[in-house]
Copies of this chain bind each other. A is one copy, B any other.
């Protein structure tokens, strides 16, 4: 009762905003039925020009903000895309995510970010909470920890994009690149340039490990039988990179080239090398991965592998939007966004 009267007050007065204004209030004031008001906002092509204008003006003057919870419930379209990241902080993915969000926001979708962190238990809870919002789509960037999480996602019946990879067991759409190819390419490229003594510093993450394995086995094929590999626990930070180089140098020989599983590690290596007065690339060459924005402006500028993150982000957004518009489109989509080896001044 009290509520109702408050509302009517707001509708009658010249309030420019209100908390609990409903579409019905707008409709009443514009002299149309609620459903027409709804259409004026969501399917303007179905409404007469003059009517639509009147409704939109009323929306403006009242400061009405549609309740998307209600809209989502009624239409079973939440206009929400869930993005799962390993961590929100220092993410290799942030550039891709930014581009993706920009495009999605433009198209009227919002992004629900979830950081899966490092605990499988937390991930399960997160996934449940996110699925509870009935997102229209899900983007997976990191890997999921448990198989049950993957199954749960698969059976949620919503479009899923697995980004940053092109694995075998696709849940749905895949947009990324081949980590094996990256490893192989690095090996071939630097072998051809004359490097013979390689070392790897990698974080203990499945994809970094795959790149590493592919690199090592390609080197073997080229006749380089022994490659030092330092595997360090997540998360990848500068500190870990520095520690990695220290450990590497404690071992026998000093490698010509250190290949890092991420730019973040590589920047740590650069810092550690500087602290040791090692000259880069003469004393030690360093390669990163991911081409985060810092890399280009490090000193020396970091050589790295670019995976064209903004483009990937855009493609992910488009793939989802396509599927939203037409449920049968992009069904087995698999896009290889490739990669580029960027030689700057650290190799």
Chain B residues near A63 (CB, 8 Å)? Answer: 152, 155
Contact of A88 with B78 at beta-carbon distance under 8 Å, contacts A69-B73, A113-B111, A132-B68 already known: no
Chain A 130-185 residues near chain B, CB threshold 8 A = 130-134, 151-152, 155-157
In whole angstroms, how far apart are the Cα atoms of A278 and B134 in the complex? 56
Contact of A101 with B126 at beta-carbon distance under 8 Å, contacts A69-B134, A298-B271 already known: no
In whole angstroms, how far apart are the Cα atoms of A19 and B158 in the complex? 9
Indicate which residue in B88, B108, B274 contacts A101 across the interface (CB closer than 8 Å): B88
Chain B residues near A65 (CB, 8 Å)? Answer: 128, 131-132, 156
Chain A 92-142 residues near chain B, CB threshold 8 A = 94-95, 97-98, 101, 105, 108, 110-115, 122, 125-126, 128-134
Whether a CB of chain B sits under 8 angstroms from the CB of A44 is no
Chain B residues near A72 (CB, 8 Å)? Answer: 69
Indicate which residue in B122, B126, B151, B157 contacts A19 across the interface (CB closer than 8 Å): B157
Indicate which residue in B78, B111, B112, B293 contacts A237 across the interface (CB closer than 8 Å): B293
Whether a CB of chain B sits under 8 angstroms from the CB of A275 is yes
Q: Of all chain B residues, which has the CB nearest A109?
A: B129
Least distance between A212 CB and chain B CB atoms (Å): 23
Chain A 224-238 residues near chain B, CB threshold 8 A = 237-238
In whole angstroms, how far apart are the Cα atoms of A18 and B154 in the complex? 10
Q: Of all chain B residues, which has the CB nearest A94?
A: B89
Q: Are B98 and A89 neighbours in the complex by a CB distance under 8 Å?
A: yes
Q: Are B115 and A101 neighbours in the complex by a CB distance under 8 Å?
A: yes
Q: Are B115 and A113 neighbours in the complex by a CB distance under 8 Å?
A: no
Q: Of all chain B residues, which has the CB nearest A297?
A: B238
8 other A-B residue contacts (CB within 8 Å) besides A69-B78, A238-B296: A17-B152, A65-B128, A67-B73, A88-B97, A89-B94, A110-B114, A271-B298, A275-B300
Residues of A within 8 A of B (CB): 17-19, 63, 65-70, 72-73, 78, 87-90, 94-95, 97-98, 101, 105, 108, 110-115, 122, 125-126, 128-134, 151-152, 155-157, 237-239, 241-242, 267-268, 271-272, 274-275, 293-294, 296-300
